Amino acid sequence: MSGFGFEVLARSRRARLGRLATTHGSVRTPAFMPVGTQATVKAVTPQELRQAGAEIVLSNTYHLSLRPGHDLIRELGGLHRFMGWDGPLLTDSGGFQVFSLAELRRIEEQGVRFRSHLDGSEHLLTPEKSMEIQAALGSDIVMAFDECPPAGATREEVAGAVERTTRWALRSREAYTGPGTLFVQGGVHRDLRERCAAELVREGFPGYAIGGVSVGEPQPAMLETVRHAAELLPAERPRYLMGVGTPLDLVESVACGVDMFDCVMPTRNARNGSLFTSLGRVNIKRAEYARDERALDPACSCETCTRYSRAYLRHLFQAREILGARLNTIHNLTYFLGLMQALREAIESDSFAAFRDAFVDAQRGEEEEDAP
């Protein structure tokens, strides 16, 4: 756990301003982590990530272990060097990916058997194997291997998954010998989450993730879960809400005391032409933008907004040009990371409540405008 630390620097209501220290530098929280699934955040360079405001990147154990292989990355000096990102890296455990992507998955106490979505080859992912992969990658923040029950799972199934996740967290800690630090994640149902959190907190991990949310439930239900989960976790440890979410989700979760987020939304939506701006969402393929000379977001200072028009972005999207994916990604990341910066400033000046109210109002106004 060399070099790891977390400090809460300020509070505004339940929202926390903090600093996460790793051997590859520190991260200001609340932090958003762009997702670099295959050792690249799709369409952008590490320099562009820095420019957009990224301080930490997430990458995926499942994908990298299958291609190009974690042994290869270790031989080449680790993931930081391989992808040219010298800042902090967090890797997921592979659990969620195995459950959502792989074929023929079968859960055993030992781990999960699955077939690769790339070539159908059979693999066994265990807590020990997940730790070996994440250590080979040289990750700064390593996630304990978890079982991720599907959205429609019964209470009994979730209970089984929670217990197994707890056992697997301890096996993960036992097995991990890499240079990074280990986070754990918990389950869904209120009482089960309480039991899970109590056990994991008693065991004392460096950081805690809230998993099993944002799997299709309505936003109020998700926020209720997040609020409850955050209360169960120790105040002096970072809280990481996995796979979340929309800008509004981020603001509301920061309000619950969450410190870290990751989501493919800014990058995936960018490639689909769905752009986040200070004036609301822009679906760049719409005909109304064909002759629109304005910057995508007049309040944004990213390369995309300072150099190109909405008309050009629409043309690139319609013509399926790679440059369109690039420029859209740069903008969406700048928007998400700029929102985190604004949240940090609001907490520092103890004006978070006002910021949140204004943001929620603006989002509501936008939704009403979008309505038919």
Show which residues are catalytic.
92, 262
Q: Using CB atoms within 10 Å of the CB of residue 266, give its burial: 0 to 12 exposed, 13 to 18 middle, 19+ buried.
A: buried
Q: For its own copies, which stretch binds (CB under 8 A), given 33-41, 144-152, 208-216, 237-245? A: 33-41
For the bound state, the minimum distance from the C-beta of residue 13 to its own copies, rounded and expressed in Å, comes to: 40
> Tokens standing for 318?
């319609």
For the bound state, the minimum distance from the C-beta of residue 73 to its own copies, rounded and expressed in Å, comes to: 9
Does 50 participate in binding its own copies (rule CB under 8 A)? no
C-alpha angle with apex 16: 352 to 264, nearest 5 degrees?
90
Does 70 participate in binding its own copies (rule CB under 8 A)? no
Are the CB atoms for 64 and 137 separated by under 8 Å?
Answer: yes
Q: What's the one-letter identity of residue 236?
A: E
C-alpha angle with apex 233: 128 to 89, nearest 5 degrees?
50
For the bound state, the minimum distance from the C-beta of residue 79 to its own copies, rounded and expressed in Å, comes to: 10
> Tokens standing for 304?
């995309």
Does 145 participate in binding its own copies (rule CB under 8 A)? no
Q: Report how far Cα 148 is from the mean position of its chain's Cα atoms.
A: 16
Are the CB atoms for 144 and 127 separated by under 8 Å?
Answer: yes
> Tokens standing for 198?
């109590």
Residues touching its own copies: how many (CB under 8 A)? 35
Calpha distance 49→330 (Å, rounded): 8
Q: For its own copies, which stretch binds (CB under 8 A), given 65-73, 92-100, 101-109, 167-175? A: 65-73
Angle separating helix axes 247-255 and 322-348, nearest 10 degrees: 20
Are the CB atoms for 328 and 317 separated by under 8 Å?
Answer: yes
Report the residue number, 41 or 244, with the smaller CB distance to its own copies: 41
Does 276 participate in binding its own copies (rule CB under 8 A)? no
User: Tokens 């629409």 identify what position?
Assistant: 314
Q: What share of the chain is helix, strand, coil (3-state, %, to 5)?
A: 45, 20, 35
Does 85 participate in binding its own copies (rule CB under 8 A)? no
For the bound state, the minimum distance from the C-beta of residue 270 to its own copies, rounded and expressed in Å, comes to: 11
Report the residue number, 33 or 255, with the smaller CB distance to its own copies: 33
Does 291 participate in binding its own copies (rule CB under 8 A)? yes
Report the residue number, 71 or 122, with the smaller CB distance to its own copies: 71
- Count the residues in the chain: 372
Does 318 participate in binding its own copies (rule CB under 8 A)? yes
Does 52 participate in binding its own copies (rule CB under 8 A)? no
Binding residue for its own copies (CB under 8 A) from 296, 316, 340, 346?
316
Does 106 participate in binding its own copies (rule CB under 8 A)? no
Interaction site with its own copies (CB under 8 A): 38-40, 42-45, 67-68, 72, 75-77, 82-84, 290-291, 293, 303, 307-309, 311-312, 314-316, 318-319, 321-323, 325-326
